[in-house]
């Protein structure tokens, strides 16, 4: 496979901006789909994203910015979607171009609510993309640390390891190390689930639980993640690898974690709506908790997922966080 592939990024949030920064390290020209012309005008004139990771200096000579999703997709071989899961389908509906021959990278970290499918599965079923051409971009890696060029690790998951290796090379730099993995479904589920567990960790902190409980919570979350993914896609995997456990830990502990921040607010007494209004960024775990709960319950023999169930009950069934966590503590070991 040629390493001279043309890349395009779809989305303009912090993770999309971080991806643009990483790709620009090894590419002279990349496409960038940004929904608002006002944002493009600001990027062109000020050389940074006005709303996200504004400290990242962007060389606009490397960027082909456009509000037309079809024009951006047409000019690229590799399409990287970094749009929040709640909004990606509405954006994809504007895509009239045949993308079946493209390589698709999911950097979404969530389930598409309309279909209940992982992004890779959704694009395969609805846009005819071969599953061997579906790639998952996973962590452990926070956009904010990419902006600061702190050493970070990415996992590139693809059934075709040759494609994974080419993509990994594109992302590698002096501050980005990359690993490749063929567990596409597991990596994408892990990226979704860790956001739910980060909300749980935030709730626990907001409720006043200490580090001792957090360690027990995350130990249980690791085993729960393993059970859930095994039910969804059975294959040999080591849950202690960085794509699973590493990403889980950084999302649950980091001060940059928007999901932990969201959970912390809920634990302190905010309503879901008030917490969402106060945050300028989307907490993917809010949507993921509902999707994961529904997916698990649809199984003939659901996995034991007390943490996911507790987060779902608090966020969607309006259960009292203090009482719900008290019940949860009795189920952990």
3-state helix/strand/coil string of the chain: CCCCCCEEEECCCHHHHHHHHHHHCCCCCEEEECCCHHHHHHHHHHCCCCCCCCCCCCCHHHEEEECCHHHHHHCCCEEEECCCHHHHHHHHCCCCCCCCCCEEEECCCCEECCCCEEHHHHHHHHHCCCHHHEEEEECCCCHHHHHCCCCEEEEEEECCHHHHHHHHHHHCECCEEEEEECCHHHHHHHHHHHHHHHHHHHHHHHCCCCHHHHHHHHHHHHHHHHHHHHHHCCCCCCCCCHHHHHHHHHHHHCCCCHHHHHHHHHHCCCCHHHHHHHCCCCCHHHHHHHHHHHHHHCCCCCCCCHHHHHHHHHHHCCCCHHHHHHHHHCCCC
pLDDT at 234: 84
pLDDT at 210: 96
Q: In terms of Cα–Cα distance, which of 296, 205, 287, 193 is closest to 253?
A: 205
pLDDT at 33: 97
The set of catalytic residues is: 194
Q: Which domains does the chain have, with CATH numbers?
A: 7-182 (3.40.50.720), 186-329 (1.10.1040.10)
Give pLDDT < 70 ranges for the chain: 1-3
pLDDT at 283: 86
pLDDT at 233: 82
Q: In terms of Cα–Cα distance, which of 175, 167, 145, 137 is closest to 56?
A: 145
pLDDT at 1: 54
Q: How far apart are CA 123 and CA 80, in angstroms?
A: 12
Q: Above pLDDT 90, what percent of the chain?
A: 82
């Amino acid at each position: 496979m040629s390493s001279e592939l043309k890349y395009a990024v779809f989305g303009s949030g912090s993770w999309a901006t971080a991806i643009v920064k990483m790709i620009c390290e090894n590419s002279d020209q990349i496409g960038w789909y940004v929904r608002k012309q006002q944002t493009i005008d600001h990027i062109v004139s000020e050389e940074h994203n006005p709303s996200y990771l504004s400290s990242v200096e962007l060389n606009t000579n490397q960027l082909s910015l456009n509000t037309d999703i079809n024009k951006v997709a047409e000019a690229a071989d590799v399409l990287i979607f970094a749009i929040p899961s709640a909004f990606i389908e509405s954006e994809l509906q504007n895509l009239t171009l045949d993308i079946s021959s493209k390589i698709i990278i999911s950097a979404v970290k969530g389930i598409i609510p309309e279909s209940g499918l992982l992004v890779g599965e959704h694009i395969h079923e609805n846009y005819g993309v071969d599953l061997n051409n579906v790639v998952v971009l996973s962590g452990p890696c926070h956009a904010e640390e990419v902006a600061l060029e702190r050493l970070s690790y990415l996992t590139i998951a693809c059934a075709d390891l040759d494609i994974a290796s080419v993509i990994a090379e594109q992302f590698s730099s002096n501050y980005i190390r990359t690993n490749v993995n063929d567990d596409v479904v597991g990596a994408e589920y892990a990226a979704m689930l860790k956001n739910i567990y980060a909300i749980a960790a935030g709730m626990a902190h907001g409720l006043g639980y200490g580090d001792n409980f957090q360690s027990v919570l995350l130990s249980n979350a690791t085993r729960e993640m393993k059970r859930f993914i095994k039910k969804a896609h059975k294959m040999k995997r080591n849950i202690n690898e960085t794509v699973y456990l590493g990403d889980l830990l950084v999302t649950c502990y980091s001060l940059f974690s928007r999901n932990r921040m969201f959970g912390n607010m809920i634990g302190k007494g905010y309503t879901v709506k008030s917490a969402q209004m106060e945050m300028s960024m989307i907490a993917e775990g809010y949507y993921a908790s509902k999707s994961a709960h529904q997916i698990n319950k649809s199984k003939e023999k659901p996995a034991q997922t007390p943490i996911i169930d507790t987060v779902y009950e608090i966020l969607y069934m309006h259960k009292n966080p203090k009482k719900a966590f008290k019940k949860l503590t009795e189920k952990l070991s």
